[in-house]
A and B are shown apart, each in its own frame.
Chain A
Amino acid sequence: MSATFVGMPAFPEAAREALADSQLRYNLAHATGTIRDKRAKVVAEVDDWEDLRVAGAAVKETALRDLERHLVRLEETLTANGATVHWARDAAEANAIVAAIAKDHAAEEVVKVKSMVTQEIGLNEALAEEGIAAWETDLAELIVQLGDDLPSHILVPAIHRNRAEIREIFMSKMAAAGRPAPDDLSDEPAVLAAAAREHLREKFLRAKVGVSGANFAVAESGTLVVVESEGNGRMCLTLPEVLVSVVGIEKVVSRWEELDPLLRLLPRSSTGERMNPYTSTWSGVTPGDGPQEVHVVLLDNGRTRALADEVGRQALRCIRCSACLNVCPVYERTGGHAYGSVYPGPIGAILNPLLKGVGHDDQVDSLPYASSLCGACFEVCPVRIDIPAVLVDQRAQVVDAHRNGVPKPEAAAMKGAAYVFGRSSRLAGLERLTGIGLGLARRVGIAAWTGARDLPDTPKESFRAWWRRTDGGRRKEHGDD
């Protein structure tokens, strides 16, 4: 995959392009509408859903607030279970560890379970530079990889593609990557899925090294958990001789029993199912069953930075269900590419600035503003991440990061507003206030408003003037009310 998010424009510009693509708008509206309905139906089945959300949030939050102890414990238990634990501060270190393991086994290819973290670190590209082919085996990831495309959704990276586009990609690109698509391929989803099965099966059967992420890592038992649907995960976790799992340090939970609220919350929130088809758990090496060499790479890559953020820390509770994307009115219209990251949508709008820091990249700084703050994301989040609150806090951090530079027109307008709103005498009189309002509008862009919207007419007097003139309506005057 040579496509990359590097050099993407800031959100408003990227969104404009996406909004102009009517096929994309249709695909997104259809897909997000479908999944929203499914989620709502299975969530309504659960009487204690709110209690479960509270429990899910607490499980993750208690682990995060005591992360050092849990990480050390996880390392101990994994090691005792026969796994080798590695630590990586950043993407380059993690990629080097995975490449070295593959080379130790003279592997020219690896098969991959769908994993956000390996996309975050650009593992496929890094392995390609070392001459190792990384095959994505999740259907949507396969579509993205074959199409030389970028993922646009956390759960369904090819959500921006419809069945006809997917058929076209399979017909034109499968042959170069292995077994070609059958000549009579139709655009029926079941037929397309069958073609993916045939294409990938030969890769599963010969693979020596599997690469995965993990949905959860249990410190007390040294257990990793992968939640999936297609069975490609089971193939990668079971068939190869060697398994390498790259795990963000925020994935840890303390005890085995604590998986319970999370396993009840995740499938209903993500695919809108009571339970996903397959969940695999493994604790290091099981003699005679599955990979006999197991590695775990514990990755930071900005997570300790996010952990230090008092308001933003809660974003590390995220279990990557993507419910927030599916309900977001902004995501529904722009799609995921506009966010310029493997983490799009509301969670991406906070996670990227938290992991990367603000104040040095306009694209990252634009993300906290890619929201109308409608709050639909918080409402559905299974681990109660108050995304709107974090967005507002991230906006403040963006503004603060630029306070010593050349002030933007918007900053000058806000300073003016601060002065006027600090004392009512300063806004006595309608002219004054509308003057400020229009001044603000001009500075942040009146053309942006009036491009497709009319402005309301201005009334003859302000409320304050009316109140004074009529004593709050008690004194009737001609022409009033």
Chain B
Amino acid sequence: MTEARSEILAGVRAALAGVDPAPAAPTVPGVSLTPADAVAKFAERVADYRAVVERCGAAELADRVAAALPEGSVIVPEGLSVQVPDAVVDDGTLTATDLDRIAAVVTEARVGIAETGTIVLDHGPGQGRRIISLVPDTHVCIVHEHQVVADVPDAVADLDPARPLTWISGPSATSDIELDRVEGVHGPRNLHVIVVAG
């Protein structure tokens, strides 16, 4: 394999002999929004993907989460900022098969992107392992207003690539049949986003 490595790198070197470097890429700023406009646009654009979106104050959050949950068992990560009665707290031991029997998951997020209606999880405290927000069929995701940024470049600058990241824009979907979008394939078919004031 070291032979393959040296041969490929030599091939690259030979291919580019005498070729000038390309000029650096210009930065293109994203859209600029006031915090209030960003939150409004975020809610609107998440809803465009046919996710359920609601906004509430901090005091109402626990009730809203409870109301968003379907029948059946619920899993939550460690460090979730809201109490979910009867929820299983993930201790890192549940397998995919175990999680397949759980109906819903509640997590927080790391960033919300207004322009694209995207939620980004970096799987830190309150978000948990990637698997827990993937296998259950309903994902209730809490986004705090202060976490919402205007556009993709703001999010990229804010995120740490050393962490695993999951960018979520609406429920699982496919356009594979006649290029018509259909919601709900392998990922959570129900995405419920609660945007909390503050």
B7 to chain A, nearest CB (A): 6
Known: A89-B7, A277-B168. A54 touches B152 (CB 8 A): no
Report Cα–Cα, A354/B173, bound state, in Å: 34
Report Cα–Cα, A81/B5, bound state, in Å: 19
Known: A34-B179, A156-B175. A308 touches B115 (CB 8 A): no
Enumerate chain A residues within 8 angstroms of B96, measured Cβ to Cβ.
204-205, 239
Write out, one digit per residue, whether chain A residues 345-364 have a CB within 8 A of any chain B CB (1) or not (0): 00000000000000000000
Known: A189-B178, A221-B161. A278 touches B28 (CB 8 A): no
Enumerate chain B residues within 8 angstroms of A304, measured Cβ to Cβ.
8, 11-12, 14-15
Asked if B55 is at the interface (CB within 8 A of a chain A CB), the reply is no
Among the listed B45, B153, B167, which residue makes an inter-chain contact with A278, where contact means beta carbons less than 8 Å apart?
A: B167
Write out, one digit per residue, whether chain B residues 153-187 have a CB within 8 A of any chain A CB (1) or not (0): 10011000111111111111111111111111111
Total cross-chain contacts (CB, 8 A): 251
Write out, one digit per residue, whether chain A residues 61-80 have a CB within 8 A of any chain B CB (1) or not (0): 11011111001100000000
Task: Using C-beta atoms within 8 Å of the partner chain, give the interface range for chain A.
Answer: 35 or more
Are the C-beta atoms of A93 and B179 separated by less than 8 Å?
no
> Among the listed stretches B63-71, B80-88, B129-137, which one makes contact with chain A, having 4 or more residues with CB under 8 Å of it?
B129-137
Asked if A209 is at the interface (CB within 8 A of a chain B CB), the reply is no
Report Cα–Cα, A480/B27, bound state, in Å: 62
A262 to chain B, nearest CB (A): 10
Task: Using C-beta atoms within 8 Å of the partner chain, give the interface range for chain B.
Answer: 35 or more
Enumerate chain A residues within 8 angstroms of B190, measured Cβ to Cβ.
none
Enumerate chain B residues within 8 angstroms of A201, measured Cβ to Cβ.
100, 186
Are the C-beta atoms of B163 and A257 separated by less than 8 Å?
no
Among the listed A235, A279, A289, which residue makes an inter-chain contact with B129, where contact means beta carbons less than 8 Å apart?
A: A289
> Among the listed stretches A135-143, A328-336, A413-421, A448-456, which one makes contact with chain B, having 4 or more residues with CB under 8 Å of it?
A135-143
Enumerate chain A residues within 8 angstroms of B162, measured Cβ to Cβ.
81, 221, 283
Asked if B21 is at the interface (CB within 8 A of a chain A CB), the reply is yes
> Among the listed stretches B103-111, B116-124, B141-149, which one makes contact with chain A, having 4 or more residues with CB under 8 Å of it?
B116-124
A244 to chain B, nearest CB (A): 14
Write out, one digit per residue, whether chain A residues 234-249 have a CB within 8 A of any chain B CB (1) or not (0): 1100110000000001
Give B56-97 interface residues, CB cut-off 8 Å to A: 92, 96-97
Known: A238-B131, A280-B166, A288-B92. A88 touches B4 (CB 8 A): yes
A-B contact pairs, 11 of them (CB 8 A): A34-B178, A62-B21, A163-B178, A201-B100, A231-B188, A232-B186, A260-B28, A279-B167, A280-B164, A280-B166, A307-B12
Residues of A within 8 A of B (CB): 27, 30-32, 34-35, 38, 48, 51-52, 54-56, 58-59, 61-62, 64-68, 71-72, 81, 86-89, 93, 97, 137-140, 143, 156, 158-159, 162-163, 166, 189-190, 192-194, 196-197, 200-201, 204-205, 218, 221, 223, 229-232, 234-235, 238-239, 249, 256-261, 263-264, 267, 271, 273-283, 286, 288-290, 298, 300, 304-305, 307-308, 313
